[in-house]
Structure 1
Amino acid sequence: MAVIAAFVVNAVLNFALGLLIAQLLGPSDFGRFALGTAGAVVLNTLLFEWLRLSATRFYSARVREEEPWIRLMLGRAYAFVALGLAGAALLCLSGAGLLAPDAGDQVRLAAAAAATAVGIGLFDYHAALARARFVGGAYLRLVLAKNAIALVLMSGTAWLVPQPAWVMVAGGLSQLLAVLAVRRVLADAPAAAGRRRRAETLRLFLAYGLPLIAANVLYQLMPFANRAAIAAAADFAVSGYFSLAADMGARVFSTLGAALDLLLFQIAVQAEELHGRAAAEDQVGRNLAVVATVLLPCAAGFWVVAPAIEAIVVPAAFRGHFAQYTLLLLPGLLALALMNFALNPIFQIRRRTLPVIAAALIGAGANALGILVLTRPLGAPGIAAAQSVGFVAALSFLALRALTGRERLRLPLRDLAAATAAAAVMTAALLPLRGLAPWLALPACVAGGGLIYGALVWRFDIAGLRGVVEARLRRALPAR
């Protein structure tokens, strides 16, 4: 329940904070902020993601007691990379004043991206530690602290000093301060490791994480390059329109998918520790059905309510563009979430992560080809459509690799078909409500969609979710 509560808080506050920053900065500066933030995410993925991935795969409550050098090497590796990146950020800042004013602004944005990446990496690493140990209370406190501090620091900075670089730095600082709030809960006893064991542990981390990092960097570079392409083809205001729709949609899917992954992947790792690889792969198949059951109605519902969200909560300067870009970006955002949280775990459990690189290369190629083909007839929206084409192409390849051949994953096809049908029924039922006044359409669609889809999931026990809820209720209610 703590993880679910953390997800709800994180999703709502992230969504609200993004809209508030967009309102305070305006389209042009928000476009710069979004471009710099995308750069920070790329840096974090490139430099720190291997540590987060290694923590979720190789660290656990058992490892904490029996193999303490795992945490020792994770901490040392993170500190080394963080100090190097922080030093690079300081060099950028110190050199910015010696450059021309325009170049100085760009360097300051790059330095802010480096500083923000350090904060993101630190937060993600400690969140992974809490996840690996199933410490839900610590994870909830970490998320609450991060969102509360970010709301104050980022909105305050955007109001007092409305410059994208400083708002980014405030965001990175909020994540650093949140980690300090839970550092004692997640601390391990001091440990030591010989040189040979240290080297073996680092090689294990790198061999496991590097293919996933390469793929994730490509996936992060795609929206980064697309935003830059829109800014070059049009201007930063148009890039801001694209970025707001992309960021809002990505936050919904990534937050929801990460909340599921927090529990599901660790359950698969635990199944491998207790019962072997076959049990872990069976669990991954069940996890895939759960992820699809949750993400499909999320995508359909977000599309249905996008016009109402635009009319009610999107800043006035962005209206007229949000719903259009959301429609074009949604297929790609759903595909990316399904890859990250449904298909990638198959290769992570098997420790064969090279196919994810091939999928990412195919996606990047399809994205580039889509830009060439679609930009001339559609303009800037064609770049958004090209991004969806790229992510869908990558998903298709990865699904082909995972679900065919001698080692294909066995899927609960009945659950996947039922989830798809239930999402279609929900969407058809909500379409008439889309034409209502926005203040009526939004609550009616959210409540009606939740009731319809929830009733179908409960009636047909899709992905076994009814059984999960009933078991939890039996534990929560006192025996008579």
Structure 2
Amino acid sequence: MIAAFVLNAGLNFILGLVIAKLLGPADFGRFALATAGAIVLNTLLFEWLRLSATRFYSQRVRAGEPWIRHGLDRAYAVLGLALLAAAMLCAGFGVEAGPESRGALLAGTAFAALGIGVFDYHAALARARFDGGLYLGLVGLKNALAFTLMVATAWYLPQPACVLVAFAVGQCASVFLLRGPLRDPAAPVHRVRLRETWRLFMVYGLPLIAANAIYQAMPFLNRAALAAQAGFAEAGYFALAADVTLRSLSTLGTALDLLLFQLAVRAEELSGAAEAERQVARNAATVVALLLPCAVGFWAVLPALQALVVPEAYRGPFAAYALLLLPGLFCLAMMNFALNPVFQIRRRTMPVIAASVLGLAVNGAGLLVLPPLMGPAGIALAQTAGLAAAFLGLALRALAGPERLRLPWREIAAAAAACLVMGLALAPFRALPPATALALCVPLGAAIYGALVWIFDIAGLRGAVEERFRRRHPAPAA
């Protein structure tokens, strides 16, 4: 599952660069704005159901509690049909006004949100069943279809709305082609159970979806403010830097979360709530130990990455925005993968909303104060300040008080110290020619941090590798 997710993120990264080159900065700015809107729309409509699938669906539930899947399917069907009707209505106005019209862009946004929702739901079902083969097949097929359809559309019909529709078609087609393995065994529908299930999903998922919508609205509002202040091209620079930086942090984090949170759910099923909380604490230490070096490594290779990978039209602003956005996006990754699971496993998710509202307020205050003083860079700093405030607020709720999560602080401090050593060692190489810097920084950084992790067994990673090796190569009997 982790390999499939990393493959998916890598291909999406390449696809984003190709689309940016084919559309150009201005149209890519519109495409990025519409994509951010599609993510917000998907979050508002479908995210509570996807989160409920990861929390309440499993291989055991698939066999013994079929009403969970029935409730998920029917809720998705109702919301999906409503969104499809809205998309078709916007498309009708767009056909009349042309592919560059606001109606066409809104239609593309709605179609993209529908495609994301359909794919993410079925991918979550495969992960909750720990069916890695099915998940890998779903991800591989989706990427093959999306790459082919989106690149061909951007080449022949270089309009953001058309590319968004191609994206949606690829997502939905991959689910349709694998609909057989994704099905559950046939079972009668219990109407009373359906109502109870929907109530459970809403109580658990709606606070999380509200918080996620706020976090997705932040870049949407910031990109809109930047477009109004400095034009769509500047919004395109900001969007590419934000997307690449976020993916550099969230790719591994999301891949880990696919497995680690399901392990916490399984621990609760097998051993109770106390063991689930201990698993969440261990997960948090693992997330810090693996994501913090990603952030430091991204900083180290940023000049080389800009020179070698980023399209020429985006160079300069890309590195400036990425450097300003990096601390805030790291805070967002820590919230999503280390702190949110604390409240998810407890089924008390309201504190997540309070933290997101705090972050949005700080972001809004920054938009009022910083751009007049610093220009477009002030918008990036406003986003970073908002995400940092949200992280601090949520950390206080999770780590203070009588029910605080007891983290392995020694492991976290050891990971931070190892990252500091790695960053100091890599700093001189940032000024080298790009190809040389990239060729040296990646293996050297991995070697330094890996050696420190192995020597001091940071977050128990050495022990996990040794245990895995013993299982694969058991010692011969005496």
Q: TM-score by structure 2 length? A: 0.97
Cross-structure match for 1:287: 283
1:61-112 deviations in whole A, cap 9, x for unaligned?
111111011001101111111111011000011123455x69x711111111
How large is the RMSD of aligned CA atoms in angstroms? 1.3
SS of the aligned residue for 1:409 comes to: coil
Gaps of 5+ in 2: none
C-alpha contact (below 8 Å) 2:87/2:107 kept by paired residues: yes
Cross-structure match for 1:142: 138
SS of the aligned residue for 1:314 comes to: coil
Q: How many angstroms does 1:479 deviate by?
A: 4.9
Where do 1:108-187 residues align within 5 Å? 108-187=104-183
2:246 is the alignment partner of 1:250: yes
1:70 to 60, 68, 71: 68
SS of the aligned residue for 1:368 comes to: helix
Bigger shift: 298-307 or 280-289? 298-307
Cross-structure match for 1:374: 370
Cross-structure match for 1:325: 321
The one-letter amino acid paired with 1:118 is: L
2:209 is the alignment partner of 1:206: no
Distance 2:307 2:32 in 1: 22
Distance 1:48 1:73 in 2: 13
1:17-74 deviations in whole A, cap 9, x for unaligned?
1111111111101100000000000010000001100000000111111101100110
- Percent identity of the aligned residues? 63
2:446 is the alignment partner of 1:450: yes
Distance 2:126 2:248 in 1: 22
Gaps of 5+ in 1: none
Cross-structure match for 1:6: 4
Cross-structure match for 2:14: 16
SS of the aligned residue for 2:401 comes to: coil
2:195 is the alignment partner of 1:226: no
Distance 1:160 1:474 in 2: 54
1:98-145 deviations in whole A, cap 9, x for unaligned?
55x69x711111111110111101111111111111111111111111
C-alpha contact (below 8 Å) 1:287/1:342 kept by paired residues: yes
Tell me how many residue pairs correspond in the alignment: 476
Cross-structure match for 1:390: 386
Distance 2:70 2:187 in 1: 7
Q: How many angstroms does 1:153 deviate by?
A: 1.2
Distance 1:264 1:231 in 2: 39
C-alpha contact (below 8 Å) 2:94/2:107 kept by paired residues: no
C-alpha contact (below 8 Å) 1:211/1:353 kept by paired residues: yes
Q: How many angstroms does 1:477 deviate by?
A: 3.0
CA change 1:467–1:182 in 2 (3 A) is: farther
The one-letter amino acid paired with 1:381 is: A
The one-letter amino acid paired with 1:282 is: R
C-alpha contact (below 8 Å) 1:72/1:192 kept by paired residues: no
Q: How many angstroms does 1:196 deviate by?
A: 1.7
Bigger shift: 150-159 or 199-208? 150-159
Where do 1:14-53 residues align within 5 Å? 14-53=12-51
1:61 to 42, 45, 59: 59
The one-letter amino acid paired with 2:401 is: G
The one-letter amino acid paired with 1:346 is: V
1:370-404 deviations in whole A, cap 9, x for unaligned?
11121012111110111011001000000000000
2:92 is the alignment partner of 1:94: yes
2:355 is the alignment partner of 1:359: yes
1:193-231 deviations in whole A, cap 9, x for unaligned?
332211111000011100001000000000000000000
1:132-162 deviations in whole A, cap 9, x for unaligned?
1111111111111122222111111111111
1:288-324 deviations in whole A, cap 9, x for unaligned?
0011111101111111111111101111110111110
The one-letter amino acid paired with 1:88 is: A
Bigger shift: 184-193 or 341-350? 184-193
1:233-259 deviations in whole A, cap 9, x for unaligned?
010000000000011112222222110
Cross-structure match for 2:189: 193
C-alpha contact (below 8 Å) 1:72/1:191 kept by paired residues: no
C-alpha contact (below 8 Å) 2:34/2:106 kept by paired residues: yes
Distance 1:49 1:36 in 2: 18
The one-letter amino acid paired with 1:168 is: L
Distance 1:258 1:214 in 2: 19
C-alpha contact (below 8 Å) 2:48/2:206 kept by paired residues: yes
C-alpha contact (below 8 Å) 1:331/1:388 kept by paired residues: yes
C-alpha contact (below 8 Å) 2:2/2:258 kept by paired residues: no
Distance 1:233 1:373 in 2: 14
C-alpha contact (below 8 Å) 2:218/2:360 kept by paired residues: yes
Cross-structure match for 2:473: 477
C-alpha contact (below 8 Å) 2:248/2:298 kept by paired residues: no
Bigger shift: 187-196 or 316-325? 187-196
Distance 1:69 1:191 in 2: 9
Distance 2:80 2:152 in 1: 26
Distance 2:176 2:438 in 1: 38
Q: How many angstroms does 1:170 deviate by?
A: 1.3
Q: TM-score by structure 1 length? A: 0.97
1:338-379 deviations in whole A, cap 9, x for unaligned?
101110000001111000100000000000111112101211
Distance 1:385 1:185 in 2: 46
C-alpha contact (below 8 Å) 1:38/1:220 kept by paired residues: yes
C-alpha contact (below 8 Å) 1:11/1:256 kept by paired residues: no
Q: How many angstroms does 1:469 deviate by?
A: 1.2
Distance 2:180 2:287 in 1: 32
Q: How many angstroms does 1:478 deviate by?
A: 6.0
Distance 1:415 1:182 in 2: 42
C-alpha contact (below 8 Å) 2:237/2:314 kept by paired residues: yes
Distance 2:294 2:156 in 1: 36
Bigger shift: 142-151 or 389-398? 142-151
C-alpha contact (below 8 Å) 1:24/1:158 kept by paired residues: yes
SS of the aligned residue for 2:180 comes to: coil
